[in-house]
């Protein structure tokens, strides 16, 4: 069974501080991991996926299969990063996507 | 092009009534997902459609919930005999194929009184 755990429901940091949103997963096969973001009054949208290995809006995430983690990081948080962040897992070639419970990030001025 | 649309945007219904929620996916997207988002909680997978394959209904919470999809187009989620615990935002998403990026609709906020 696929499971995604985001241990922090709320996370608050000051502008310019580093931020790390934690995501752990369990899956027996080859996982595909994603981070989705929902800004206030906007639709849920893809932020990044581990296959792309890219940095979006200064965010990066590395898949660590040994620790079964896919933490989202940004070295210097900005106020506009305040949003709800969801980690999601799909098995390679699998049908469905499982989302974590989400972490609400607040970046204070 | 147009994104995923959902209707209605808001629905208030009395306990015990049936409701039908609609999702129009992006044209050409073969995969369609329904999720539920209760207040203060994360996304809860409900059901998944892929092309003409049998849907994955493993997330439906009870037999009061059902969903249909006509080919690779519109999908409807039906909740029969609604209960107060059904109050939530129901999100629909579509993607080109499994494991591809999902594009989400704006959601339908359901309130059961």
pLDDT digits (tens, 9 = 90+) for B80-103: 999 999 999 999 999 987 767 899
Cα three-residue angle A59-A64-A58, rounded to 5 degrees: 5
Tell me the C-alpha to C-alpha distance, in Å, between residue B39 and each of B16, B78, B86, B96, B110. Answer: 21, 20, 11, 29, 11
- Cβ-Cβ contacts under 8 Å between A and B: the total is 55
Decide if B42 and A99 are in contact by the 8 Å CB cutoff.
Answer: yes
The predicted model gives A1-27 an average pLDDT of: 93
**How many Å lie between the alpha carbon of B46 and the closest alpha carbon of chain A?**
10
Structural contact between residues A94 and B99, judged by C-beta atoms closer than 8 angstroms: yes
pLDDT digits (tens, 9 = 90+) for B33-88: 999 999 877 788 899 998 888 888 888 999 999 999 988 889 999 999 999 999 99
- How are the residues of chain B apportioned to helix, strand and coil, as percentages rounded to the nearest 5? 5, 50, 50
**Residue B8: cis peptide before it, omega within 30 degrees of 0:** yes
Structural contact between residues A43 and B102, judged by C-beta atoms closer than 8 angstroms: no
């Amino acid at each position: 069974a696929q499971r995604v755990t985001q241990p922090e429901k709320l996370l608050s940091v000051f502008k310019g501080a580093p931020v790390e949103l934690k995501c752990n997963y369990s899956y027996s096969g080859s996982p595909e991991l994603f981070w989705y973001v929902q800004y206030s009054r906007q639709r849920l949208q893809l932020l990044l996926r581990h296959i792309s290995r890219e940095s979006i809006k200064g965010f990066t995430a590395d898949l660590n299969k040994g620790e079964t983690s896919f933490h989202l990081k940004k070295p210097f948080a900005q106020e506009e990063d305040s949003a709800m962040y969801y980690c999601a897992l799909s098995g390679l070639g699998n049908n469905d996507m499982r989302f974590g419970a989400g972490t609400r990030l607040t970046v204070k001025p | 092009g147009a994104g995923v649309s959902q209707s209605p945007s808001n629905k208030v219904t009395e306990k015990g009534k049936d409701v039908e929620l609609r999702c129009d996916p992006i044209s050409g997207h073969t995969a369609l997902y329904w999720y539920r988002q209760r207040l203060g909680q994360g996304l809860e997978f409900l059901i998944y459609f892929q092309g003409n394959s049998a849907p994955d209904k493993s997330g439906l919470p009870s037999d009061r919930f059902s969903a249909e999809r006509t080919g690779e187009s519109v999908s409807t989620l039906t909740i029969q005999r609604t209960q107060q615990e059904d109050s939530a935002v129901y999100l629909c998403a579509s993607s080109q194929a499994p494991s591809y990026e999902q594009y989400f609709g704006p959601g339908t906020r359901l309130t059961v009184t």
